[in-house]
Amino acid sequence: MSGGKEEVLARRPGRISRNVYLLGLTSLIQDLSSELIMAVLPGFIAALGGGGLGVGLIGGIEESAKSLLSLFAGHWSDRFGRRKPLVASGYALANLAKLGQAFVSGWGQLLGLRLLDRVGKGLRTAPRDALIADSAAEEVRGVNFGLHRTMDSLGAVLGTALAYLLYRYLALELREIILLGGLIGLLALLPLIGVREKANPPQRRPLLLGLKGLPKSFRLALVAMMLFSAANLSYMFFWLKASRAFPPRAAIALPILMYALFNLSYTILSLPAGALGDRFGRRAVLLGGYLLFVPVALGSIFAASLASFLPLFLALGAVYALIEGNQRAFAADLAAREGRGLALGTFHMGTGLAALLGNVLAGVIWQFTSPEGAFIYGGGLALLSALALLLFARS
């Protein structure tokens, strides 16, 4: 199918682009691979000698690497008028880095490879999101992003469930699970072969001039989204908190299972959340997600059993469903098409750097004061971000 015909099909009301299906399939395989690793990563970090501080550093620094590169990758995709080469390069680099993670002997080495993995993610994320936005009419952009997030999170469900089965019933070692995840990830490159993009006119504006040209409405909305990113604690903090409530073997198996339920909730709700954003406005849906995170964070302080952790992990999945696709669509809505790669790169950079600072600070609070203090910090800042969204952002 030609690029021109593809765009026409994508822009018929109610249509989901063929590109989005293919990018979704790539993300499904990639996330199956990634979440097979992520499901056991907190336990692996602990086994290598890392604690709450290690979790905070790895969770934060890998996000910052992704985010800083997203700005430049988004700008490059605008500058050259092509997005797919950066997307493919990013997936290839990330999966090569995953293979090495099974062979590390210390959490510092793991940090280096996680950093390289996130460099690959930084190369692909903004160009891929811009490609999705380019392929979707504005009135169905939330549904297109929602479908992509659904397929992405379906891969996460499958990966996490597989991790649980491999650890619980086949008694595989954590390193063996991580190696398998790296091998599966190489398959994610195959669906990209079928992606067809319509070349955009190259944008020759310098990066700084492009940043200055971003709309004021975009910059104000970004402030609120950055505040929430600083509040939105890595799932690994919830994983570690749950692991403290169970005996040794169950302290890994049950958090993996709850992480699978988190991803299942995220998967089921992502597409409806995108449709809600299309129908009622993205700001209203984001506000609901920010506010829902407050009781999830504060409720984790008091959770001490399987029955109390299960609803928290399901609600955390709902938070991600409400915010992940809608934040990207909101950022895309507020930017002109010719500068959309840069705008989405700026969005990912800003939110990722905020996540770095927030997770490192939460890790320090966890390590040197108490785990409860980290959750109080997250819940309180999430409430502040909801207020900022009301005051600053406009649909």
What is the pLDDT at residue 143?
A: 84
Task: Point out the least confidently predicted range of 67-71, 85-89, 311-315.
Answer: 67-71
Quick: pLDDT tens for 261-290: 898 898 899 889 988 998 898 899 999 999
Measure Cα distances from 394 to 36, 137, 143, 259, 354 in Å.
38, 20, 20, 34, 21
Q: CB count, 10 Å around CB of 103?
A: 12
Q: Does the pLDDT at position 10 exceed 50?
A: no
User: Measured between alpha carbons, how far is 363 from 52 in angstroms, rounded to an integer?
Assistant: 5
Domain boundaries, the chain: 3-392
Per residue in 341-366, pLDDT (tens digit) is 788 888 888 998 898 889 889 989 99
Correct CATH for 3-392 of 1.10.10.60, 1.20.1250.20, 1.10.1200.10, 1.10.8.640: 1.20.1250.20
Backbone angles phi, psi at 200, to 5 degrees: -90, 150
pLDDT on residue 203: 67
pLDDT over 50 (residue 150): yes
This prediction's pTM: 0.73
Helix axes 107-134, 18-38, angle to 10 degrees: 170
* Model confidence band, residue 2 (pLDDT cutoffs 50, 70, 90): very low
Looking at the predicted structure, is the pLDDT value of residue 11 above 50?
no
pLDDT score for 208: 65
Whether residue 138 has pLDDT greater than 50: yes
3-state secondary structure 268-316: HHHHHHHHHHHHHCHHHHHHHHHHHHHHHHHHHHHCCCHHHHHHHHHHH
pLDDT of the residue at 287: 96
